[in-house]
Structure 1
Amino acid sequence: MAVGPASLARPAPAAGRSFTLRDLLEREGVWSWLMLTPGVLFLLAFVAYPFFYGIFLSLQERRVTQSGVFVGLSNFETLLHDAVFWQITRNTFVYTIVATLLKLAGGLAMALVMHQHFRGKNLARAFLLLPFIVPTILSTVAWMWILDPTFSVVNWTLVKAGVMKAGPSWLGNASLAMVSIIVVNTWRGLPFYGITLLAGLQTIAPDLYEAAAIDGANARQRFRHVTLPIIKPVLIIVTMFSVIFTFSDFQLVYALTHGGPANATHLFATFAFDVGMSGGQFGMGAAVALSMLPPLALLIVALTLYLRRE
């Protein structure tokens, strides 16, 4: 007896039969929403609620010892006339731009090296991931020892090499403190760039390089006209994520310097924590935190439009 498609189809529920849970779950739309529900609830609880509650707090004069009083945009107006806020704005942009450029250049160079064939390549890739997988606080404590003015291995090396007579206070000097946190952030962020760009490089067909070499292109020309155009979307996306992470950095900076000395390394996130939590000014702290949104939103929109155009 031939078996046709009609005999394989599931029979429709008989008239008068009760609608079971199994029948409901077999509907694709219901099953899709059921799978999405945990993620949606997580986003509502840990992203949407804190965000809108932060907006609510930023419109209030609210402290630990008193209930909130609605003040509208007064907190933002106060920030616009605060010299410390503008210093922190400059710190954040300098920190983000310099660290991102260093990670971009270093990560691309690292990816190009790891894309080559050499002995111990897999071991080198494993070591490449170490800065990224080590917990931030743990690696920051190690850097605190490395940069300590008394026990610093960097200072010891510089003094023994005769470069200087006495080692500087890396985290106690305003200029050196900013340089130090940029170096630590770059060290920690390089694996993210390196591994992501390496994945992009591995999608390039070797035939393209061979064709370019036959046409007389040297290594620099092959990189410029073959490699860069193909990995450009990956480069833009990884840069966008890196800027977001760096712009809103908190753990590394707060653990190393607590924003000091004299606000020289305070960023939006660390300053918002100090004002809101340490200072007890919840409304002002929320206003500082929300000040990060406009530049980040502009960056994301600009890069998204650029990617669509490309």
Structure 2
Amino acid sequence: MRLETLNEGAAKTAVRGETPTRWLSRALVSDTSAAYAFVAPAFFLLLFLVAYPFVLSLWFSLSDARVGETGSFVGLDNFRRLLGSSIFIQTLQNSMVFTAAALGLKTVLGMALALLLFRVARFKRLIRGAVLLPFIVPTALSTLVWWWMFEPMYSVVNWTLKSLHIVNHDIPWLPDPYLAMCTVVLVNTWRGLPFFAITLLAGLVSIPRELYEAAESDGAGPVGRFWHVTLPLLQPVLAVVILFSAIFTLADFNIVYVLTKGGPMNMTHLFATYSFALGLQSGQVGQGAAVSLFLFPILLGVVFVQLRLVRQSTTL
């Protein structure tokens, strides 16, 4: 249809004395203009929702702005105060531990779940749909259910453990600093596991069966086929999944805020929760914005490393 239109247009322009080359260039210019016109709404939407808040946050981080006050320019004072704050250093450590632990668990468990789903033959559509439920349910709502499960007074987990005579006392899942970190890592892993499993499952489906048959004919067992066929071919997919999950995990807010609000003793504060506590709850907008901007170079480094890994894996 497009080719016929171009031929008809070229014939008409030839009658008018216009060369086909000039007509074609004019048509391409109009198509390019149309493309820009279609992209423009999305561009301006991103400009308004991403670029403007980022620039505004950058200004706030360089000022002593407080809630209800515009503030004045103070340079890098907010960043110096944060680097000298023990709570911020603790938040930085918490964010690294939280992200590394959650990513490790999601990678291992997500791969195992993807392999399991790949081998399921009966009711596979129903099972794969059910696996997505933790990712579909609103984060705040599902995390509130987890809070009920671990909250000391109503903890169904403690009740189950005591009923099975595994423990004889209530375990302080949320009041204990170290158990609280384990709890938020567990909930984040549960929340992000479907993303890993379904994406890796899509990668598994795309691997040609002939490669497995060739490896099996060479004497490779299940472990050998996984290490020499599955894992190398899944590296590009795995790198992209880890990249997106690292960004989402490092910037997590809902899970930690609903479960612990950064406590106890600031042992579960992440960048997002500490920025919220400083900027909105304490009214120190400048320092809160400075905390959020500390995420930018970290995420930039993560993206750079992961994209290099993706490029290397695709060129092998």
Match of 1:166 in 2: 169
**TM-score under structure 2 normalisation?**
0.91
Cα pair distance change 1:6/1:91, threshold 3 Å:
closer
Match of 1:218 in 2: 221
- The yes-or-no answer on 1:195 pairing with 2:198 is yes
Match of 1:233 in 2: 236
- The yes-or-no answer on 1:51 pairing with 2:54 is yes
Percent identity (aligned): 45
Question: Which shows bigger deviation, 113-122 or 134-143?
Answer: 113-122
Q: Secondary structure at the match of 1:63?
A: coil
Q: Which amino acid aligns with 1:279?
A: S
Report the CA distance between 1:7 and its aligned residue: 5.0
Q: Which amino acid aligns with 2:81?
A: T
Report the CA distance between 1:14 and its aligned residue: 6.9
- The answer as to whether partners of 1:25 and 1:31 remain within 8 angstroms in 2 is no
TM alignment of 1:24-39, pairs within 5 A = 27-39=30-42
- The yes-or-no answer on 1:98 pairing with 2:101 is yes
- The answer as to whether partners of 1:88 and 1:267 remain within 8 angstroms in 2 is yes
**Residues paired across the two proteins, number:** 301
Q: CA offsets per residue over residues 213-270 of structure 1, 9 Å max, x none?
A: 0111111111001001111000000001000000000011111111111111110000
Q: CA offsets per residue over residues 248-301 of structure 1, 9 Å max, x none?
A: 000111111111111111100000011001111111000000011112111111
Q: Secondary structure at the match of 2:132?
A: helix
Gaps of 5+ in 2: 18-25
TM alignment of 1:39-188, pairs within 5 A = 39-188=42-191
Structure having the larger proportion of residues in helix: 2
- The answer as to whether partners of 1:209 and 1:226 remain within 8 angstroms in 2 is yes
Q: CA offsets per residue over residues 63-100 of structure 1, 9 Å max, x none?
A: 12433111101110111111110000000111000000
- The answer as to whether partners of 2:275 and 2:291 remain within 8 angstroms in 1 is yes
Gaps of 5+ in 1: 16-22
Match of 2:286 in 1: 283
Report the CA distance between 1:145 and its aligned residue: 1.0
Q: Which amino acid aligns with 1:27?
A: S
Counterparts of 2:68 and 2:36, CA distance in 1: 44
Counterparts of 2:11 and 2:180, CA distance in 1: 70
Match of 1:11 in 2: 12
Cα pair distance change 1:278/1:7, threshold 3 Å:
closer
- The answer as to whether partners of 1:24 and 1:30 remain within 8 angstroms in 2 is no
Counterparts of 1:180 and 1:275, CA distance in 2: 24
Q: 1:309 aligns with which of 300, 304, 312?
A: 312
Report the CA distance between 1:10 and its aligned residue: 6.3
Report the CA distance between 1:11 and its aligned residue: 2.9
Counterparts of 1:309 and 1:98, CA distance in 2: 25
Counterparts of 1:268 and 1:10, CA distance in 2: 64
Q: Which amino acid aligns with 1:223?
A: F
Match of 2:296 in 1: 293
Q: Secondary structure at the match of 1:61?
A: coil
Cα pair distance change 1:215/1:261, threshold 3 Å:
same
Counterparts of 2:158 and 2:304, CA distance in 1: 44
**TM-score under structure 1 normalisation?**
0.92
Counterparts of 1:245 and 1:7, CA distance in 2: 52
Report the CA distance between 1:304 and its aligned residue: 1.1
**What is the RMSD computed on CA atoms of the aligned residues?**
2.1
